[in-house]
Amino acid sequence: MSVIYVGKGRRFQTITEALEYTNYDEALTLILDEGIYREKIECNKRKLHLIGRGMNQTYIIWDDSAFKLHLDGKKYGTFRSHTAFFDGDYLKVENLTIENQAGQGHEVGQAVAAAVYTKYVHMKYVRLISYQDTLFLGPLPDKERVVDGFLGPRQDTPRIQSYQFYENCEIQGDIDFIFGGGNGIFSNCILYGRGERIGFLTAPSTNVDELGFYFDKCIIDAQVEQNLYLGRPWRRYGKSMFFECVMGKGIHKQGFDPWQEKKKTYFFAEWPEQETKRLFQTYVTIEEVKIIQDEVSKIKKAIKSLEK
């Protein structure tokens, strides 16, 4: 395993330089000094551990967006707009902030902070900031709905299921700011809807028989009262579940929205249920809760087994 320190005055002053110095198969730990790394990260490493000095000390910042014109003459689109792109077998990120500073979606389009396709992921004490489409959990859906809708580094590659664990993280956005087909576990996270537009926390495109997005003991709120929906399905089997979460006044009383789906094949659940059941919510039994929690435990165990 290689351990590389990155920062001003060091041999490698940018994250990109350090990533390019090592080959794909070499397990790599990057330790980032305090500061702002103003660069677009393209990381395809088999095993990477990325460590900052703290969410308020180490920042990775860029500002691409969907409406921006690329050098190839096309617009960037959602899946080239990322500040940081990660792929590979295993990724651990801790103690830093990743931000896309492009601006609000109605002005610049989607602006991804982190696009995470890595198969097994653990993020801890990480802050992710943007407006529309802050965090993407791979894989992409099988088919695009519009030509070049998935234009980007994984448009034409096989769809590989990912298993991702976000612990004590903070994620900010407005429209669909956690989205994709990955299995995502969010534990003790702060999720915040910023801006004045009506927002949607999740837009899952879950594959059938997969877990989807699971939120455990998270704090969820928004800047404007009754402004943030908990989720809407990006594809027909989208799943988002909220277990023992604290909901602020910013959460829309309806809770969920069916978006384009006419049939109720999606799965949105909240447990324990509120006194007034939210629209488009699926009722879960105690037995189903146990099955879901067992699956969550298996995924967390698999991820943590790779940290050695």
Active site residues: 176
The residue whose two tokens read 């435990």 is: 297
- φ and ψ of 64, to 5 deg: -75, 155
User: How are beta strands 120-129 and 170-173 bridged, if at all?
Assistant: parallel
Per-residue tokens: 117: 């396709």
Q: Which pair of structure tokens corresponds to residue 228?
A: 């943030």
Q: Which two tokens stand for residue 120?
A: 């097994």
| DSSP string of 134-196, one letter each residue | -EEESPPPSS-SSTTTT-STTTTS-----EEEEES-EEEESSS-EEESSEEEEES-EEEE-SS
Rounded CA-CA distance 185/7 in Å is: 31
Pair 14, 37: CB distance under 8 Å: yes
- How far CA 96 is from CA of 15, 62, 193, 228, in Å, comes to 13, 14, 20, 26
Tell me phi and psi for residue 98, to 5 degrees. -115, 125
60: nearest Cα among 121, 130, 110:
130
- Closest among 87, 300, 295 to 210, alpha carbons compared: 295
Angle of CA points 54, 60, 63, to nearest 5°? 145
Q: Which amino acid is at 181?
A: G
Distance from CA of residue 139 to its chain's centroid?
Answer: 11
Q: How far apart are CA 28 and CA 89, in angstroms?
A: 12
16 sits in the region (left: phi over 0; alpha: psi -120 to 50; else beta) called: alpha
The strand ranges marked E within 63-119 are 84-87, 90-100, 114-116
